[in-house]
Amino acid sequence: MSFSLPDFRRKWSCRGYMSAGAAMVTAALGLSLVLAERAEARKHASPLDIFGIATPRPRVAVHSAKIPLPRPRPEEAPKASDEAPPETDGKPSPDKPGPDKPAEVAQPPQKPLSACRLALTEEIAIAPSIPDIRGPGACGGEDLVRLEAVVLPDKRKVTVKPAAILRCTMASAIADWLRKDMVPLATSLGSTISELDNFDSFECRGRNRVVGAMLSEHGKANAIDVRAIKLANGQSIGLTDRTMTREVRERVLHSVCARFSTVLGPGSDWYHEDHIHLDLAQRRNDYRICQWNVWDPLPQVAPLLPAERPEEAPPREVAAKPEAKDGADDEAAEKAPAPAEKPAANGGKSRPHKPATKKRR
């Protein structure tokens, strides 16, 4: 086999590879020169740069805004203390948040106290204020108190059992009624009042607890049901108790009808036969309702147990014997003359005579 020089160059030629490597080297050198020239051109503009490629572009000047500074502190102003005020007893201030007390949202300002709340002091009644109640529908109210006791003029307290949740105006009316009307009544009975029997106060319900009925004044915290007023000597003035004298119950009737806009008791309906309903409902033209029939006392009836046995009566054992009960009849039979003997029809024989006895029924 013979090889010629043209065949060798055609099969094993390196000229293409050598020419490509030389081109890459030339391009790298040219790129480095261009970068160097551009870096130099940033400092000095080139006179042959007609297109402004290498000329550095001017930057936009940034103008700083003038911030107003606070005025200098006057010399006569007191110097602020750099030290924090010492904490009392090593406890943090209640107003500052701590690890046990997270930061609270600023609370809205409290509502000013009403004129009733300012007048109902602890010298008149123990009635702390409670938050407003927003129940379903129109239930609830504002300016509410929990009437726990009424303070009498002599500083004695009339306990309200259980404590009544009422509007301030209603609680004030109850306190005035007890202090000015019931105290003289109890004094005439030889004692003083000590307790008010609260049957019902605030309750979100319809009238007479009928489903679907109009909202009761109890649902507005504007009513109270009273059953009795207890005295210090243990006596109780039952407002619907017919064993109580009519005069006492009529005095209570006149006092409540003069102070409250609604009074319901026996005779109004069968819902109020065992208590008295009092409220301050607002009606057109200041219309008032006073329905309470003061019934007469119950008639005196014979006792269910038999009367006591008189001392002169014979013992029960003797009285229980039949001879003792029929003794009078036996004595009369013995004293009566014996009838004349008649001849017997059967041969003159006569049967022995037996004394007559009374037949018991």
Question: Contact 312/284 with Cβ under 8 angstroms?
Answer: no
Statement: residue 48 has pLDDT above 80: no
Give the number of other CB atoms < 10 A from CB of residue 144.
Answer: 20
Question: What's the confidence (pLDDT) of residue 208?
Answer: 84
Structure tokens at 1: 């086999």
What are the angstrom distances between the C-alpha of 250 and each of 74, 90, 179, 238, 327? 80, 65, 18, 12, 59
**What are 259-287's pLDDT values in tens digits?**
999 999 999 888 899 999 999 999 999 99
- Please give the Cα distance from 188 to 199 (Å, whole number): 25
Q: What is the reported pTM?
A: 0.55
SS3 call for 92: coil
Residue 97 or 159, more confident: 159
What are the angstrom distances between the C-alpha of 155 and each of 146, 151, 172, 178? 19, 6, 17, 13
Helix-helix angle 168-177:246-259, to 10 degrees: 150
**Which amino acid, one-letter code, is at 348?**
G
